Each structure stands twice: as structure tokens, then as C-alpha cells.
């Protein structure tokens, strides 16, 4: 039976500036441009962000391909390093302004709703080296200035804004688990950065409200990677480990974004551990007053946790992992290429969690997807990649999402990561995610089987 989705449902896909555009406006480097300059060997096959999927030069053709597969909304991001010349004053770079204007106009011309976020891990490298990046409240203020510029320049046409993509990945990648530059292991800084990112989002929202953009029908939110933490067993210590993992990984951002304050249980825990962030009354008031209108949820995989083997009080420096360990559940279904678990029901659990605990706020799936390497294995005689595994993956997630919507969750869209295979951080081009393939040597882009499939889904508003 045909599963129909709500009217005007977003059938789309997401990319980001740093992963698609390529290196233009070379006067500033973001942290990934910089990292590639100084340590190219950490990137898969030493492929860096210089070209990415060449969106800067080929946005017209790329957007035409997105249109061809009937995507009705697409997300990308505005790069701070490309739009702004002087970060302190937020003076504008003309080339950057023209480029983003042209991209927005092209989306609109093609009938695709443009969705923009303002930060996708692309911190200007000099703001890290000068101030410690997100450790610094000055950088928080500079981000709010940059956000205001974006709203002033593009707010007449862009009606769907998001402040951050996956702020928790910044915390984990840069400050805990060493997968983003500068690869620190510092729980105390991680806590402060988490707070500062929440504050930066609220301050950007404040600029949006000051400009009265809501009165033009525009909305603003944030994009969070929600990874529900399922406990290894129903033993109380495992259940508690699951709750603490959720508190730290998910609720720290979700609760702050929706309610304008941090979850009391987290504040209590960090205070007890003497690991709480530095905050002021004024900042907390800004957080309280500037909550989100709408939410983006990136979901790839769940997390399975168990109580840690080492008791919390016997660990030295504060690290969140003192409260939970990852649990490698036997028999779980894995995407072997990527090493991530496939568990579509988690999307339903997320949908009901938002319905029941987060004011049933309107939300959309802002990223979901399946990274597969060497996809040329699946080329057929017509030169089309037969990615049936991706169709199956999307379909299974949509089925659970549909159930969540039927039961009252207020979800208005689904975006796959990503429209066109793009560059991905240290993984560079190892994992391919797109509806459309990209030959990184020739930049020839070809619609995959999943691209033809989504076209029909979008036409039928269901499958
Ligand atoms: C998400 C990010 C995206 C993208 C995706 C796939 O966390 O928001 O930017 O990179 O993950 O990740 P990867 O290419 O590393 O498999």
C-alpha cells in the first residue's frame, strides 16, 4: 500500500559549503583547509577540500541535476571564511556575496526551497589559532556578527535557517576523540565548548529576531545529530549509563535549543564533578529567550552503551566516558563499509521523543544516509550505479518515520546526505552517499538508481 506523507513534505538532500564548493577566496582558510595544508596525509588518499565537488564552478549544472531528480528542497551552508573578509568587523567579501546570491537565486529559479545553515565544522583557522576557536566567547560574538550579515544579505529569499550542523561533533571531534583538528583530549575544554556552541546558536537567533525575520515568514533552528543510546541490558547500571549518554550527547543541545536551559540532571552531574562550564546571568538569559522555531535531526546510527568497567570516581581528568562505554552488541546489523550500525527504528523513537518531550516541535530529518565505498562496483551497462542497498536503507527509515508521523510527530521533511557525492573530512571521498555520483577526476556527475527512485517518491509524495 502507498505510504503518503504530509502535504508539502520536503523530499531533498543536504550538503555543506566546505564539502561541496572547493577552495575559493583563498585569503582565509577554514580549519579543514588549514589541516590539509599542514598534514595532507591524514586525509584518505591525501584528497583534500580544494576541489570537493566543484560546486563553486558548477552550481548551475549541479542544481539542474537536483531538479532533474525532483528534490524540492536542498540544504547547504554559507562558509564564514568565504563570505567575510575581516572576522572582527564582519566586512564582506564581494566574491563570496555574489556566489551565495547566485546559488540562492538558482535554487529559487529551479523551484527548490533553499535551506541554509551557518556552520558546518568550518571554523576560520585563524580564529582557532588566535583565540582558541569555540573555547572563546569572543569567537561566539564574532559568529553572531557573521550570522547577522547572512540574514541581512539573504533573508529576503532564504526562509529556512539553521545555526549549526552537529555541534556535538565539534565537541567530540576536536576535544575528546581526536577526529577533527586539532585533535585534543580535554574534557574540561569540551564542556566549555559545548556551552559556548549553545550560546553561539542563541546569539545568532537573537540577531535573527532583532531583524524581525520571523515577521517575513522565516524560521530558524539548529541541526543536531541525535544518536539514541540503547542500554546493553536492563540492569540498572546499564540503564543509567544509557541515560547519562543521552544527557550528554543529545539532551545537552536539544534541551537547550528547545527550552533555553540545560537539562538540570546534566548541570547537577557536571557541578558535582567540578567540571561545569563558566556562564554568566546575562548569557543564560540570552539562551532562555532565544530558543528555536524548528529543528533538524541528523540520524545515521544509534549508540549502544553499557556501564563502564572503571568506576567513575577512579578516573583522573574529567571525561564523559567515565559514565558510559560503547557496547558492541552481538549480531547487530552493520553497514560494513562504514562500520555504522543500521537501525531504522531509532528514527521512530526519535520522532516520539520529540513529540512527547520536546513540545512536539516541528522538525525534519536533515541528514540520513548510507556511506558505501567503491560504488563503481555496482555500475551497470548503461553506466548507472545500481545502489539498491541505498534505496532499501532509505525506504526502511521512511517506513519508521511514517509511523512516527502517523502517531502525531510533527515532521515535515526528509533530506538524504547528500545530493551529489561530496568530500567528507578525513574520509575525503572514501564513502559515497549521493543520489548522484561524482567522478572526482573528471567531475562528471551521473544520477544513480536511487536518484531515479527518489524522483518518483517525490512526485508521488510517498512510496
Ligand atoms: C555527518 C556530517 C556530514 C557528513 C556525514 C557523513 O556527520 O554532518 O558533513 O560528513 O556525517 O560522514 P562521513 O563522510 O565521514 O562518513
Could you read off the pLDDT of 378-401 as tens digits, one per residue? 999 999 999 999 999 999 999 999
Contact criterion met (CB below 8 Å) for 74 and 112:
yes
Q: How do beta strands 303-306 and 325-326 pair?
A: antiparallel
Contact criterion met (CB below 8 Å) for 414 and 368:
yes
Residue 379 CA from chain centroid, whole number: 29
Contact criterion met (CB below 8 Å) for 369 and 433:
yes
| Pocket test residue of 76, 367, 415, 434 for ligand 1, highest count of atoms within 8 A of CB | 367
The reported pLDDT for the residue numbered 315 is 58
| Pocket test residue of 179, 222, 365, 417 for ligand 1, highest count of atoms within 8 A of CB | 417
**Protein residue closest via CA to atom 6 of ligand 1:** 424
**Could you give the ipTM of this predicted complex?**
0.97
Q: How far is the CA of 124 from the centre of ligand 1 (A)?
A: 19
The reported pLDDT for the residue numbered 314 is 59
Q: Which atom of ligand 1 is nearest to the CA of 371?
A: 16
The reported pLDDT for the residue numbered 337 is 78
Task: Give pLDDT tens digits for 54-105.
Answer: 999 999 999 999 999 999 999 999 999 999 999 999 999 999 999 999 999 9
Cβ–ligand 1 contact at 33 (below 6 Å): no
Task: Give pLDDT tens digits for 244-280.
Answer: 999 999 999 999 999 999 999 999 999 999 999 999 9
The reported pLDDT for the residue numbered 313 is 67
Q: What angle do CA 107, 79, 20 make, to 5 degrees?
A: 60
The reported pLDDT for the residue numbered 428 is 97
The reported pLDDT for the residue numbered 310 is 78
Contact criterion met (CB below 8 Å) for 130 and 83:
no
Distance CA 274, CA 104 (A): 46
Mean pLDDT for the chain overall: 97
Band of the pLDDT at 130, cuts 50, 70, 90? very high
297, pLDDT greater than 80? yes
* 437 backbone dihedrals φ, ψ, rounded to 5°: -85, 160
Residues of the chain with pLDDT > 70: what percent? 99
**148's grid cell:** 547577522
311, pLDDT greater than 90? no
Instruction: Give the 3-state secondary structure of residue 255.
Output: helix
| Domains, the chain | 10-460 (3.20.20.80)
In b/e form, how buried is each residue of 239-272, taking b as 16+ CB within 10 angstroms?
eebbbbbbbbbbbbbbbbbbebebbeebeebbee
Task: Give pLDDT tens digits for 22-58.
Answer: 999 999 999 999 999 999 999 999 999 999 999 999 9
The reported pLDDT for the residue numbered 338 is 76
Q: How do beta strands 445-447 and 436-438 pair?
A: antiparallel
Tell me the average pLDDT across 437-454.
97
The reported pLDDT for the residue numbered 309 is 87
Task: Give pLDDT tens digits for 402-414.
Answer: 999 999 999 999 9
**Cα separations in angstroms, 315 against 51, 124, 253, 308:** 44, 34, 25, 11
Cβ–ligand 1 contact at 15 (below 6 Å): no
The burial of 151, by beta-carbon neighbours within 10 Å (0-12 exposed, 13-18 middle, 19 or more buried), is given as buried
The reported pLDDT for the residue numbered 1 is 81
pTM of the model: 0.98
Task: Give pLDDT tens digits for 177-196.
Answer: 999 999 999 999 999 999 99
Q: Which atom of ligand 1 is nearest to the CA of 169?
A: 7
In b/e form, how buried is each residue of 273-287, taking b as 16+ CB within 10 angstroms?
bebbbebeeebeebb
Contact criterion met (CB below 8 Å) for 15 and 422:
yes
Residue with grid cell 528514527, as numbered in its chain: 347
Q: What angle do CA 148, 226, 181 make, to 5 degrees?
A: 65
Amino acid at each position: 500500500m502507498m505510504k503518503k506523507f504530509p502535504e508539502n513534505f520536503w523530499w531533498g538532500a543536504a550538503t555543506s559549503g566546505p564539502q561541496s564548493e572547493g577552495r575559493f577566496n583563498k585569503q582565509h582558510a577554514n580549519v579543514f583547509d588549514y589541516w590539509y595544508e599542514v598534514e595532507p596525509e591524514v586525509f584518505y588518499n591525501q584528497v583534500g577540500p580544494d576541489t570537493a565537488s566543484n560546486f563553486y564552478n558548477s552550481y548551475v549544472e549541479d542544481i539542474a541535476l537536483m531538479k532533474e531528480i525532483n528534490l524540492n528542497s536542498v540544504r547547504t551552508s554559507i562558509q564564514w571564511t568565504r563570505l567575510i573578509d575581516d572576522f572582527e568587523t564582519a566586512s564582506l567579501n564581494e566574491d563570496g556575496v555574489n556566489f551565495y546570491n547566485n546559488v540562492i537565486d538558482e535554487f529559487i529559479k529551479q523551484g527548490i526551497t533553499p535551506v541554509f545553515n551557518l556552520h558546518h565544522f568550518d571554523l576560520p583557522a585563524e580564529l582557532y589559532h588566535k583565540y582558541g576557536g569555540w573555547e572563546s566567547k569572543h569567537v561566539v560574538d564574532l559568529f553572531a556578527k557573521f550570522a547577522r550579515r547572512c540574514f541581512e544579505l539573504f533573508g529576503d529569499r532564504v526562509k529556512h535557517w539553521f545555526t549549526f550542523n552537529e555541534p556535538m561533533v565539534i565537541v567530540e571531534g576536536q576535544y575528546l576523540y581526536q577526529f577533527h583538528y586539532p585533535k585534543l583530549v580535554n574534557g574540561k575544554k569540551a564542556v566549555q565548548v559545548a556551552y559556548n556552541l549553545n550560546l553561539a546558536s542563541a546569539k545568532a537567533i537573537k540577531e535573527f529576531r532583532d531583524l524581525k525575520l520571523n515577521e517575513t515568514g522565516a524560521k530558524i533552528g539548529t541541526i543536531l545529530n541525535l544518536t539514541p543510546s540503547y542500554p546493553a541490558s536492563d540492569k540498572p547500571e546499564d540503564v543509567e549509563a544509557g541515560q547519562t549518554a543521552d544527557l550528554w550527547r543529545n539532551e545537552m543541545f536539544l534541551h537547550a535549543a528547545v527550552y533555553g536551559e540545560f537539562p538540570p540532571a546534566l548541570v547537577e552531574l557536571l557541578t558535582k564533578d567540578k567540571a561545569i562550564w563558566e556562564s554568566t546571568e546575562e548569557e543564560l538569559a540570552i539562551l532562555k529567550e532565544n530558543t528555536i522555531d524548528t529543528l533538524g535531526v541528523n540520524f545515521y546510527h544509534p549508540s549502544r552503551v553499557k556501564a563502564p568497567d572503571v568506576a567513575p570516581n577512579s578516573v583522573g581528568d574529567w571525561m564523559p566516558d567515565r559514565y558510559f562505554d560503547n557496547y558492541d552488541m552481538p549480531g547487530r546489523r552493520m553497514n560494513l563499509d562504514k562500520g555504522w550500525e543500521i537501525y531504522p527504528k531509532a528514527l521512530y523513537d526519535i520522532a516520539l521523543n520529540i513529540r512527547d518531550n520536546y513540545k512536539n516541535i516541528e522538525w525534519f530529518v536533515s541528514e540520513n544516509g548510507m556511506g558505501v565505498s567503491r560504488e563503481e562496483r555496482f555500475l551497470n551497462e548503461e553506466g548507472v550505479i545500481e545502489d539498491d542497498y541505498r534505496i532499501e536503507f532509505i525506504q526502511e527509515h521512511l517506513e519508521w518515520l511514517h509511523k512516527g508521523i502517523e502517531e502525531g510527530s510533527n515532521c515535515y521533511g526528509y533530506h538524504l546526505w547528500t545530493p551529489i557525492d561530496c568530500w567528507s573530512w578525513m574520509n575525503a571521498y572514501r564513502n559515497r552517499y549521493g543520489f548522484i555520483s561524482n567522478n572526482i577526476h573528471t567531475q562528471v556527475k551521473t544520477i544513480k538508481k536511487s536518484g531515479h527512485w527518489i524522483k518518483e517518491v517525490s512526485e508521488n509524495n510517498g512510496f
